Structure 1
Amino acid sequence: MNNTTSSNKTHYPAVWISDVHLGYKDCQAQYLLNFLNSIECDVLYLVGDIVDLWSMKRQFFWHPSHYDVLALIQKKAKDGTRVIYIPGNHDETFRHYANESLFGIEVHKKYIHTTKANKRFLLLHGDDFDSATRYNKLISIAGDAGYDFLLFLNRWTNRIRRLFGGNYWSLASWIKARVHKARAAIEAFENAAIHEAKKQGVDGIICGHIHHPAVKIVDDIVYCNDGDWIENCTALVENSCGKIELLHWSETQKVIHSADISKLNPTPAFDKSQDAA
């Protein structure tokens, strides 16, 4: 079990979220607010596409809950949580501030996180691997007309479900899992990420971008995708027992996948000067 603070918030050494897409109409900001208010952590990683600048250029949208998410993240930083921001392709403007601090939040293009079990994870958003996927259009950005229609179906399905007392369910993810080319693109993305982790000599890689949450171990490399807050409402956490867990957080909260990283074979020696980039 994880450590619990006196305020009944679950404490984690590290938490990863990405693909929030604040400023986009299908952002599930209320679920994210509930999650962030339920946890405390030593380090909070924002792994890209936190604000959807692309969407806001097309059509400006900003719900009050989107501001509340930013305010809560900044409050956590002010209260002592180390917040590290790795901009993605939808908020790539902030990549110009790499190695600087914005409102108490560190900005990096990529980063190396060392877990309590002394395992090293490469952190990046994931759009670096678009060129490796043959069908990258199918797993690309919120803003593509086909993806917008998929989320339109997702939105109305959940409105109907709530009328009958049902909980949030991702129709979009269910459909993508059954489209062969989408599955092939996701697999190509994951293979490219694992290859990069091997190349960098780290124990694992943590990314987002494709809105497909996963935790898996391949050839002693831990591949983690923290998912999104558009379709899946997922976050990645390092718990106090040395495991990496993937959490779903809507009306129901549960662990989807986990990996005991303490049992991985050690990686080769490395140059500590490359820990941050």
Structure 2
Amino acid sequence: MQTDDGSLLTRPLLPLASGKIPDWLDLPDPKPFRPKRKYRTVWISDVHLGTRGCNAELLVDFLRSVECQTLYLVGDIVDGWRLRKGWYWPDAHNEVVRRILKMAHRGTRVVFIAGNHDEMLRDYAGLSFGGVELALEAVHEAADGRRLLVTHGDAFDGIVLYARWLAFLGDKAYGLLLRANILFNLVRRRLKMPYWSLSAYMKKRVKNAVQYVCSYEEAVAQEALSRGLDGVVCGHIHCAEIRQFGGITYYNDGDWVESCTALVEDAQGAITIVDWPSEKALEQAGKIAAENAA
């Protein structure tokens, strides 16, 4: 159910629109070689399904490795801007959707906060599709009692808000950078090296980008303060971060195009960043060390 300002309240999950549950929802998962991590809450955003830059395989691997009570999809899960220009949807992107729907089917509360790239879903806020609740924003109560605003964050981005044409222009340049990132990591895979984001590295070295990120973080934190909340969880700028602004804690879950990160909450309410490529690299190094020792 949705309040007048678009905030989300708890509501029962609805069945698929057709009333029939697909057979694949009940198919067992492949037997994992590692125990699943159990979290109270997981936040992911900026997946950009429908683009070549989306690291869908890494995201599926992450989602298969976790169990959680609530999964927040914090916007830009599907890239409607790109799909309008040309269709790109490999099976790996279908697998992300299947994985999310399976989690909803098996009892995880899934909340989809629409972003600017999937803004076409904002008209359906307050509805539920396949067990996935659509909303403009939400207020999450952590296990330690803190109340956190959950929003994609584009409303606090001056470029998106006041100069939409500039946002599209920047999106095109960013797309070129992501193409270079794909080729760069293709070479790394052939050399049996782990994923590393060239595009994220370049962004962090650009002075104007750093200033923009800082201004954005302050604006989002100020919004949480004005509502009497304890913190905010957002995405949008593809920069995972946990920062303190006075009494407000700012959380950004990053993205699954460059950094491939998520936010997770444990049973006590502590929220941390999961850097999945780094964890996979450590896992691979451990396997190699074990093989060499055998």
Q: Rate the CA distance shift 1:140–1:215 in 2: closer, same or farther, 3 A.
A: farther
Which of the numbers 244, 258, 273 marks the counterpart of 1:231? 258
Q: Rate the CA distance shift 1:112–1:34 in 2: closer, same or farther, 3 A.
A: same
Letter matched to residue 199 of structure 1: S
Unaligned runs of 5+ in 1: 1-6, 256-277
Q: Deviations over 1:63-93 (max 9, x none)?
A: 1010111011111111111001101011111
Q: Deviation of residue 132 (structure 1)?
A: 7.6
Q: Deviations over 1:132-180 (max 9, x none)?
A: 899988x957972211121122112111222222111111111111111
Asked whether 1:179 is paired with 2:241, we answer: no
Asked whether 1:244 is paired with 2:271, we answer: yes
> Residues 128-207 of structure 1: matches in 2 within 5 Å?
128-131=155-158, 144-207=171-234
2:194 aligned counterpart, secondary structure: coil
Q: Rate the CA distance shift 1:248–1:177 in 2: closer, same or farther, 3 A.
A: same
Tell me the TM-score normalised to structure 1 length: 0.84
Q: Deviation of residue 251 (structure 1)?
A: 6.5
Q: Deviations over 1:217-261 (max 9, x none)?
A: 120211011011000101110012431111111373499xxxxxx
Tell me, in whole angstroms, the C-alpha distance in 2 between the residues paired with 1:186 and 1:180.
10
Q: Rate the CA distance shift 1:55–1:9 in 2: closer, same or farther, 3 A.
A: same
Which of the numbers 200, 211, 216 marks the counterpart of 2:243? 216
User: Contact between 1:132 and 1:188, CA under 8 Å: does it hold in 2?
Assistant: no
Tell me, in whole angstroms, the C-alpha distance in 2 between the residues paired with 1:52 and 1:217.
30
Asked whether 1:56 is paired with 2:89, we answer: no
Q: Rate the CA distance shift 1:44–1:9 in 2: closer, same or farther, 3 A.
A: same
- Alignment match, 1:46: 73
Taking only the aligned residue pairs, the percentage that are identical comes to 43
**Aligned positions, number:** 249
Tell me, in whole angstroms, the C-alpha distance in 2 between the residues paired with 1:234 and 1:141.
24
Which of the numbers 5, 10, 13 marks the counterpart of 2:40? 13
Tell me, in whole angstroms, the C-alpha distance in 2 between the residues paired with 1:31 and 1:142.
28
**Which structure dedicates a bigger proportion of its chain to helix?**
2
> RMSD of the alignment, in Å?
2.4
- Higher deviation after alignment, 64-73 or 139-148: 139-148
Tell me, in whole angstroms, the C-alpha distance in 1 between the residues paired with 2:124 and 2:160.
28
User: Contact between 1:170 and 1:232, CA under 8 Å: does it hold in 2?
Assistant: yes
